[in-house]
Amino acid sequence: MHVILMGPQGSGKGTQTERVRTRLNLASIATGELFRSAIKGGTGLGRQIQAVYDRGELVPDDLTVALVEERLDKLAQERSSGSTVDGVLYDGFPRTIGQADALRQALCARGEELTAVVAIDVPRERLIERLSGRRVCSTCGRVYNVVSDPPKADSICDVCGGSVIQRADDTPEAVSKRLDLYDVETAPLVDRYSNQGLVIHVDGDRPIDEVTESIVEAIQSTTGLAAASGR
């Protein structure tokens, strides 16, 4: 199955992807993560992406789609060598009509289709509050929040001991640009997927655990998938 987690910046897609992926035995494709690791690699491509990323703008569709297709191919290879994941959870992709069309074609070429879109709804003022308090582990990417979910020891990741830092694109200017871009480029996708009967709305303005439960239930109700308990 293929499930998209959709929502504005700060709605909790990254936070929930990690939790839901584990609960339902899914692989994830998170384009923001793919770009951050390309930037970390320090290649020419990484430097090109960094300039766009730091300004809070969208990376061009062709580049984004190529990275996603590469990841889908890798997952297919892993499956043929015995991996037993039950599907893919998309975090931060697609974000434009062009990317949505490319995803549909990529799945169709593999004899598959989109199963559901979970839209995480959070009011704008709460998004700004969350993003200004967001911190991430520079090593493993675990997401924290200075108010709602701080690391146990100041600036040290609970999971891997890496340093917990603020993201380069969490400046007030970049945050505001990213939220405006979401309204223009990405929100129309929710309408499009709604017209196809694929969207389930989840109230994301609640404690993290409650939101996780609602997303897991939403996906299970659509797919009939039993939680991959113990896996």
Work out how close the CB of 157 gets to ligand AP5 at its nearest, in angstroms, rounded to a whole number. Answer: 13
Among residues 28 and 99, whose Cβ is nearest to ligand AP5?
A: 99
Q: Does 149 bind ligand AP5 (CB under 6 A)?
A: yes
Strands (E) located in the chain: 2-6, 27-30, 88-91, 116-121, 134-137, 143-145, 164-165, 199-203
31-70 footprint of ligand AP5 as x/- string (CB under 6 A): xx--x----------------xx--xxxx----x------
71-110 footprint of ligand AP5 as x/- string (CB under 6 A): ---------------------xx-x---x-----------
In terms of Cα–Cα distance, which of 99, 105, 77, 90 is closest to 192?
99
Work out how close the CB of 92 gets to ligand AP5 at its nearest, in angstroms, rounded to a whole number. Answer: 3
Catalytic residue, chosen from 13, 21, 36, 130, is 13
Among residues 46 and 133, whose Cβ is nearest to ligand AP5?
A: 133
